[in-house]
């Protein structure tokens, strides 16, 4: 099994170069508009989380709106974004 965690510094920093943030660790956030129930809303997630969601939806042949409706139905007290992250984590842990 491959260890997926990467350093927050680029490898050339280890060889005397200047430190550069690893793009995967910067946590760049992206917004997407979705329909949940009868309302449109915006979900803000890290780019790598959206990549995971896109992969999951493609594998399962589910639309983003359908996924968000499932998350909305199942979530309790956390935000939609936090609940979506947990679903992604659980999904890929079970693969």
Global pTM reads 0.72
Give the residue-averaged pLDDT of 89-93.
97
Q: Is the pLDDT of residue 75 over 50?
A: yes
Q: Is the pLDDT of residue 22 over 90?
A: no
Which 8-state DSSP code applies to residue 95?
-
Q: Is the pLDDT of residue 19 over 80?
A: no
Q: Is the pLDDT of residue 5 over 60?
A: no
Instruction: Identify whether the C-beta of residue 44 lies closer than 8 Å to the C-beta of residue 29.
Output: yes
Q: Is the dihedral of CA 7, 9, 10, 14 positive or negative?
A: negative
Residue extents of the structural domains in the chain: 29-94
Give the residue-averaged pLDDT of 15-33.
69
Q: Is the pLDDT of residue 79 over 70?
A: yes
């Amino acid at each position: 099994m491959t260890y997926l965690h990467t350093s927050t510094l680029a490898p050339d920093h280890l060889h005397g170069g200047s430190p550069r943030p690893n793009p995967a660790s910067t946590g760049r956030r992206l917004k997407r508009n979705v329909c949940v129930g009868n309302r449109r809303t915006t979900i803000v997630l890290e780019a790598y989380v959206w990549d995971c969601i896109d992969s999951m939806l493609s594998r399962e042949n589910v639309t983003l709106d359908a996924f968000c409706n499932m998350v909305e139905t199942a979530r309790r007290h956390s935000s939609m974004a936090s609940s979506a992250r947990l679903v992604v984590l659980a999904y890929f842990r079970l693969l």
